[in-house]
Structure 1
Amino acid sequence: MTSKSLFFKLLRENVKRRAWAIALAVLGFFFSLPINLALTMENAIKTKFWRYNDYEQLIFAEGISEAEKLAKILEIKTQIVLDSVKFGNGLIAFLMIVAAVVIGVSSFSYLHNRRKVDFYHSIPVRREILFAVQYVGGFLIVALAYLVNLGILMVVSCAYQVPLSSVLGTAMAGWLLNLLFFLLMYAVVSIAMIMTGNMLVGILGTGVFFFYMPGMITLLVGYCSTFFETIHYYFLTGDGSPFMAAIKWTSPVAAYITAIGWNMDNQLGKHIPALFIALFAAVALALLALELYRKRPSESAGKAMAFKWSMMPIRVLLVFAFGMGGAMFFWLLQSTIVWLVFGAVMGSLISHCVIEIIYNFDFKKLLSHKLQYAGCLACVLLAVMAFRFDWFRYDSYVPDEGKVAEAAVDIRLDSGWANFLEIEPKEDGTLGITYYDGVEILPDHMHITNLAPVLRIAEQGRDEALERRDKQMRRFTDHETAAGSSSFIIGYEGDGEEGESGRYNTRVSVVYTLKSGRKVYRQYDLYLSQVMDDYSALYDSPEYKDGLYYRVMDLQPSDVAKVSYSERNKRVSVNPDGNSGYGDLLTAYQADLAELTTTRRLEENPIGQIWFVSRYESAYAEQQFKLYEQRNAGVKTRMYNYDLDSSQTWPVYPSFKRTLSALEAHGIPVGDVVPDDEIRSVMLDMSGVMRELGLRELEEEELAARYPLSGAGATLVFEEPENIRLLMDAMVDEECLSFNGLCDAQVAVYVTADTAAMTGRTGGYLQTNKITPEIKALFKGTPLEEYDLTGETADGEMAMDVPVMAESVVVD
């Protein structure tokens, strides 16, 4: 008998003996594919395709032809079928993971029974053929059960009038891709079963192979985020993070889940290299399983591990992981070195004992290999102490200026309102929008070569981070009290008044591009007032501003599709000039923004905001509007332009003389878009002030007696035109205030202006350096009279000059 005929004969017998596995696989795919499709389709029809029509019932407008109705319904039904069969269906993915474990365990479970091993290995058949029979048999059970039920699903699809031609290609692609990752997981389960001599240990081994590396990398991320103050979140968890990349590709399950998230419909081409790597990995792991099967001792059946050489590495890796995990657990509870060491000892000791018991099936062996345990514990303690005391000097790192080619800086105070996004054509011809993190996109646009201010800001951030780290590490340390007893300092790092630490607290992210080409990410939390000179030099430099505001600085007049301007919650469209279009306005704004300095930002807040909508952004908005109409079967629904625009809003400061002049030339009454005489009343919410003054708990009668003008409520209402003018001159819109952050506003008092126009209400705050004595006079007899609105110092001197705008105000 030839090897080929012998293989197929043994394969046929193997499949017959595994009827239970075949029945289980067929039932699993039967309920996951055709039955699930039928249920989904019936539910969709009963709910008028609510879930598949942008969560709105499919209702056709009058005048829609029957053919158009049928075409829309067929489109939705086709999409339902595609969602059921395409690669990325979560139910099928779960089923494939379960199938890989169940079929893998059942394929080689006979290796854990001594009588079965003796029988199979006594047959005059090479081990390679025995392995191939079991391995291929398990694969065919899943592949054929999946394929047969796909065929039944196609019949169900046709029953709902969905043509076979529109879904067959997607179904076959999903079948192939799901089987590819099944093979990857199946090979790992087979290796775990071959390396063990007991089924339970083999299943535990499968869990280790599936989750050990992702778990260890996640634990490492936890250590870095806990013990390093300056580590950047993008480096830890962003799209370009080496940790996230390692998690995705160090486990077959993680790789499968990662692939499920891909867009295989339109972006299959860019994932082909990764798919080939997955295929090569599946083949390599299958060959490794074959080699292990060939060398597996027959007498290892019934033992925990089939290979003695594998016991020590697995033990060491697991004990190290549990030791690190135990140390982190107790550090999070108490954050002291004593508990850190305790967690390391207990985590490693318990895991070592449990592993020894599993290895030997004997409780008396729980303390075997004491030297190995001592070595593991030493490694764990060295690792946790290295993080605790930063032996890596990670937080102390600031590169030498001579080693840095350029830098990109993202200061949250300057960029917190900015959207970093790109609108680009996709492979199918439509426009897609991609959002980026600042440190991900800014290095492509910001190339700072004058590194001295950047490095001095980084050094200040480094010093504050080290101080904060020291406090953070000691936040549960005992401190002597005046009475001689001990107390815990909770949240120690938050102690101290703002005046003692500085002003303009913000987060600064720096991306250093070294001359070697390597990028180094760091983030610092610091007060800019400590480095105001360097911050001013950085902000006023063209390299920083052109990079940070690249979406408007790189914009060309020919790229602008439309422009809008907004004041006091009223947005108006700017009409293009007959000759230059929007070129004069764009050029004026770019020049003003380039000349904006920190000195001006300390003195003034924006008075309005402007949109420069590019042609790509306008086309994307139009595309989204058409998609909305299509989903609603031609139903016309009015959508405001600003709901569609994905463009960035830009601040307009009072000092932007070029921009203000250009807007007025285009017919925009800057500063008077919503005139004061259109404002019917101004309301001041004092709830924050009353809370700070401890007045919220007073009885209404007592509060009214102390503050007769405020009444019992927390709102002041002004309706006199002169008072409205005073308050509106000092008010900064809430949205405009978010653009700056350097010019203070009294955020404890929320101001709401009720306008007669269709814009309704607009909200904001009182700008601190515009609160005049006349405005303060309005608050006599109210809690605001006792509240510091203008930044007075403790000795009564003014922290800044307050302009006097009127001689007297009569308070009604």
Structure 2
Amino acid sequence: MTSRSSSSKGLVRDGVRRSLWAVVLSTLTFFMSMLLPSLMEMQYALENRRDMITSGALSFDVEQNWQWSLSSVADWLGGENALVKIAVFVLAVVVGTVMFAYLHDRRKVDFYHSLPVSREKLYAVNYATGAVCVLVPYLVMRALTMVCAHAMGFGAALGLKTLLGVILSDMIFFLLLFAMSALATIVCGNTIIALLLQLWVFFAPVTVQMLREGLLSLFCKTYSGDMSTVFNNLRLSPAVQYFTVSGTKYSSGMANEFQLAGQSALGLLLVYAAAAAFFIVLGMFAFRVRKSERAGTALAFRGLCLPVKVFMCLVMGLVSALGFHLIGGEFWMWPGLVFGVIIFHAIVEIIYAFDFRALVKHPVQLLVILAAAAAIMVGAQNDVLGFDRWLPDESKVTGVKLDADRYDMSSAEPLNEAGNIEAACRLAQLGRETTLDPSLGDTTLDQSHLLTFYMKNGSVQRRRYTMKDDAEVDGLLSSMYGSSEYKAKTRDLFNVDIDDCSKVTVRVTTNQLSENTDNSRLFTDTEKSREIIETLRKECLTYTELSAPVMMLYIESDAETNNYSYTFVTERDVQTLALIKKYMGVEPTSIDPENIGKLQLDFYVGGEDNVWVGVEVTDRNDIAALVKDAVSESEMQLYNENMAQYGLTDHAESNVRVYAGKKDGNGVYGLNNLAYPKNAFPTETVEKYRAAAEKLAQDPTSNAVTLDGDTMVTRTSLG
């Protein structure tokens, strides 16, 4: 007959009694990270609401502030609370280490393993004891926190479904991190070594991925900061991935940088639940086959010593090489590699032997590791894996993004239409030819574009290419920018919410530079504003030609989300322009040369110094020619990511920028960068001043030169 004390439940009960310290620690930790911050936030919100009411604030403002308070409280109550995540991680490491730390003491090992309990059962009891000591206080504190929230009037901040998702997520991450910590403790024969190994297990995947990105950034010309790949590989490090998840969805923190905020994380949680089960079984197996006499050694399994050392030395040697390169330049990369491998090899050997004299042991292994690290570095330098040579197979591409690192497509869905995929693949071919052609060298005359390809196998490939500014490239880009799919998926015009709201306003800004004048007009009629917006949405999808903007619209609604947008009306949006004229009395305007107080040309002058030289234009006829077709970037709030979509450029092939400033009685002009339709850049007028810029570049001490015998051109500061 089995006694109650030797049953699984009895052993767990006894284990919890012996581990009351863990219960107390967990309770205190979750009180400090969960209940206390929530109480403080709720109390602050109540006081703020009371102060607004007593001060006579408008009911609308009070209600809006209260909604913000509910959202803030929900973050503390739910999965956005980083303090709870830190608490779960720390407690998983603590109990995972302590519950199996007796394996590192020979006397305790002899005692526990002499008990009439199988190894598998003893492991299960220890694991269950640690889980109970943490999860029960967690659940109690969750319940107490929600009771307090309802009692203080914040019950609506977090729904039951969301709360259950947060609890499920926290429990899965805890069980996984706990199992990994326990396995690392079982694998080691020393508690300090176990803690160090856990740091490596939890964070090495991120280190390896960042190392890969560092090597690509150094040696691959088409590489662009691929943080989406880093994020995708965070799942190999659940301790880091945990902070990107809020319940059953990705949070608005780190995940927001990778366009995943708000998306479902159920798939990830299922994978981690399976991983937790795997590590629990693996830990049980390692616990059963572990030899008791290995207590006190660095690693309890001799077969792991060499692979672990090789992996650590390779990674840290390459990390050291990149660090030395970052600090001292390319020359110091190789000394850094040698230094990192040798130092880390010595450290690992000392740890394995617990003897400082062991730092010179296994010199042959050291040389082999050095050779392997050098081979990896040489391979990266010569792109043996073909990162730069890669080209997409059009038949295997499901979607593309163009310039996805800019905000115009950062949160947009990929383009899936066949025409856009075909154009992007052709751009990649042309871009690779230009980027990898050593005869072209570096030049500021070419344009740079980032292309992202979504493949059928689930992978994402991103490449940044330098492209010639020629007719074929321009045509391909225009076909993508002009497509209705691109417009519908990228322009904020289609994202702003004008339906689920009670108020919509439109502010129109015209293309003008005038002294102390606001070039905008506010329109507050909601229904007519909706009509203008809906007309623009329909009209801009009816043509594919790129057209210059003539007005900037700032749209704002009182919707809860997506409540504002900056967008443009072009000369082709005839119906929209007619409505704006009808309802607001506003028509397109061009820049009046009489309002220009200063006009400056900045020329790029090649040569050894690759300098830019600024010259001032004073001839009124030339000023009129330079502003004739121009669009003021600052007045219209037009930026680089918008210009390409509307067929604009801020420079010609001759590489010159044009700046104009308003007339100002105080002499402060406030220079504005000017943009032009590509076929309307004032090249003829600009080129009249190139010779002056070149002369000024040759003589840095000169402030003015004379052209054509009587025209004085003055040097000016760069815009």
Task: State the TM-score bracket (shorter-chain normalisation).
Answer: 0.7 to 0.9
Q: Deviations over 1:684-741 (max 9, x none)?
A: 266989xxxxxxxxxxxxxxxxxxxx9xxx99999xxx99978864754224696311
Aligned to 1:457: 430
Aligned to 1:733: 632
Aligned to 2:409: 420
Please give the alpha-carbon distance, in whole angstroms, between the structure 2 residues aligned to 1:419 and 1:387.
32
Are 1:321 and 2:262 an aligned pair?
no
Are 1:550 and 2:466 an aligned pair?
no
Q: Deviations over 1:240-259 (max 9, x none)?
A: x3x4312x211220232232
Aligned to 2:550: 608
Amino acid at match of 1:257: F
Aligned to 2:270: 276
Aligned to 1:371: 364
Q: Which has the larger radius of gyration?
A: 1
Aligned to 1:13: 14
Assess, with a 3 A threshold, how the Cα gap between structure 1 residues 213 and 3 changes in structure 2: closer, same or farther: farther
Please give the alpha-carbon distance, in whole angstroms, between the structure 2 residues aligned to 1:146 and 1:523.
47
Could you tell me whether the CA contact under 8 Å between 1:327 and 1:384 is conserved in 2?
A: no
Aligned-residue identity in percent: 23
Please give the alpha-carbon distance, in whole angstroms, between the structure 2 residues aligned to 1:519 and 1:159.
48
Could you tell me whether the CA contact under 8 Å between 1:684 and 1:750 is conserved in 2?
A: yes
Aligned to 2:241: 255
Assess, with a 3 A threshold, how the Cα gap between structure 1 residues 674 and 59 changes in structure 2: closer, same or farther: farther
Aligned to 1:37: 38
TM superposition shift of 1:518: 7.5
Please give the alpha-carbon distance, in whole angstroms, between the structure 2 residues aligned to 1:221 and 1:376.
22
Aligned to 1:333: 327
Please give the alpha-carbon distance, in whole angstroms, between the structure 1 residues aligned to 2:20 and 2:375.
53
Aligned to 2:227: 237
1:367-766 alignment runs, 5 A limit: 367-397=360-390, 410=402, 419-420=408-409, 435-436=411-412, 441-444=414-417, 446-447=419-420, 449=422, 454=427, 457-464=430-437, 501=443, 503=445, 505-510=446-451, 520-528=461-469, 532-539=470-477, 542=479, 545-546=482-483, 549-551=486-488, 566-568=510-512, 569-570=519-520, 594-595=544-545, 606=548, 608-609=550-551, 621-622=556-557, 625-627=558-560, 644-646=563-565, 648-652=567-571, 663=577, 667=581, 673=588, 681-684=595-598, 729=628, 732-734=631-633, 735=636, 739=643, 740-741=648-649, 744=652, 747=657, 749-752=659-662, 763=672, 765=674
1:336-351 alignment runs, 5 A limit: 336=330, 339-351=332-344
Q: Deviations over 1:459-506 (max 9, x none)?
A: 4423357865xxxxxxxxxxxxxxxxxxxxxxxx6xxxxxxx473x32
Of the structure 1 ranges 278-287 and 739-748, higher mean CA displacement relative to structure 2 is found in 739-748
TM superposition shift of 1:374: 2.5
Could you tell me whether the CA contact under 8 Å between 1:753 and 1:762 is conserved in 2?
A: no
Amino acid at match of 1:420: M
Assess, with a 3 A threshold, how the Cα gap between structure 1 residues 444 and 61 changes in structure 2: closer, same or farther: farther
1:113-124 alignment runs, 5 A limit: 113-124=105-116
- The 3-state SS of whatever aligns with 1:231 is coil
- The 3-state SS of whatever aligns with 1:447 is helix
Aligned to 1:700: none
Aligned to 2:121: 129
Assess, with a 3 A threshold, how the Cα gap between structure 1 residues 157 and 467 changes in structure 2: closer, same or farther: same
Aligned to 1:212: 204
Q: Deviations over 1:261-289 (max 9, x none)?
A: 86479999943332222212112111111
Could you tell me whether the CA contact under 8 Å between 1:733 and 1:763 is conserved in 2?
A: yes
Please give the alpha-carbon distance, in whole angstroms, between the structure 2 residues aligned to 1:62 and 1:514.
54
Assess, with a 3 A threshold, how the Cα gap between structure 1 residues 527 and 365 changes in structure 2: closer, same or farther: same
Assess, with a 3 A threshold, how the Cα gap between structure 1 residues 574 and 446 changes in structure 2: closer, same or farther: farther
Amino acid at match of 2:447: T
Please give the alpha-carbon distance, in whole angstroms, between the structure 2 residues aligned to 1:385 and 1:168.
56
Could you tell me whether the CA contact under 8 Å between 1:457 and 1:534 is conserved in 2?
A: no
- The 3-state SS of whatever aligns with 1:509 is strand
Please give the alpha-carbon distance, in whole angstroms, between the structure 2 residues aligned to 1:328 and 1:151.
49
Assess, with a 3 A threshold, how the Cα gap between structure 1 residues 269 and 753 changes in structure 2: closer, same or farther: closer
Please give the alpha-carbon distance, in whole angstroms, between the structure 2 residues aligned to 1:63 and 1:329.
56
Assess, with a 3 A threshold, how the Cα gap between structure 1 residues 287 and 552 changes in structure 2: closer, same or farther: closer
Could you tell me whether the CA contact under 8 Å between 1:304 and 1:359 is conserved in 2?
A: yes
Assess, with a 3 A threshold, how the Cα gap between structure 1 residues 58 and 787 changes in structure 2: closer, same or farther: farther
- The 3-state SS of whatever aligns with 1:420 is helix
TM-score, normalised on structure 1? 0.66
Aligned to 2:611: none
Assess, with a 3 A threshold, how the Cα gap between structure 1 residues 168 and 77 changes in structure 2: closer, same or farther: farther
TM superposition shift of 1:754: 7.4
Are 1:157 and 2:149 an aligned pair?
yes
TM superposition shift of 1:83: 3.2
TM-score, normalised on structure 2? 0.73
Please give the alpha-carbon distance, in whole angstroms, between the structure 2 residues aligned to 1:228 and 1:292.
42
Assess, with a 3 A threshold, how the Cα gap between structure 1 residues 305 and 590 changes in structure 2: closer, same or farther: closer
- The 3-state SS of whatever aligns with 2:565 is coil
Assess, with a 3 A threshold, how the Cα gap between structure 1 residues 724 and 506 changes in structure 2: closer, same or farther: closer
TM superposition shift of 1:373: 2.4
- The 3-state SS of whatever aligns with 1:311 is helix
- The 3-state SS of whatever aligns with 2:265 is helix
Assess, with a 3 A threshold, how the Cα gap between structure 1 residues 751 and 5 changes in structure 2: closer, same or farther: same
Are 1:2 and 2:13 an aligned pair?
no
- The 3-state SS of whatever aligns with 1:646 is strand
Q: Deviations over 1:581-602 (max 9, x none)?
A: 99998887667x5355xxxx9x
TM superposition shift of 1:773: 8.6
TM superposition shift of 1:74: 8.0
Please give the alpha-carbon distance, in whole angstroms, between the structure 2 residues aligned to 1:316 and 1:256.
29
Could you tell me whether the CA contact under 8 Å between 1:330 and 1:339 is conserved in 2?
A: yes
Please give the alpha-carbon distance, in whole angstroms, between the structure 2 residues aligned to 1:175 and 1:328.
41
Please give the alpha-carbon distance, in whole angstroms, between the structure 1 residues aligned to 2:70 and 2:421.
52
- The 3-state SS of whatever aligns with 2:80 is coil
Q: Deviations over 1:178-203 (max 9, x none)?
A: 12211110001101111111110111
Aligned to 1:427: none
- The 3-state SS of whatever aligns with 1:254 is helix
- The 3-state SS of whatever aligns with 1:419 is helix
Please give the alpha-carbon distance, in whole angstroms, between the structure 2 residues aligned to 1:295 and 1:512.
47
Please give the alpha-carbon distance, in whole angstroms, between the structure 1 residues aligned to 2:139 and 2:396.
57
Assess, with a 3 A threshold, how the Cα gap between structure 1 residues 524 and 33 changes in structure 2: closer, same or farther: closer
- The 3-state SS of whatever aligns with 2:314 is helix
Could you tell me whether the CA contact under 8 Å between 1:676 and 1:724 is conserved in 2?
A: no
Count of equivalent residues: 646
* TM-align CA RMSD: 5.3
Could you tell me whether the CA contact under 8 Å between 2:549 and 2:568 is conserved in 1?
A: no
Unaligned stretches of 5+ residues in structure 2: 253-260, 513-518, 604-614, 699-704, 709-719
Assess, with a 3 A threshold, how the Cα gap between structure 1 residues 717 and 84 changes in structure 2: closer, same or farther: farther
Amino acid at match of 2:660: Y
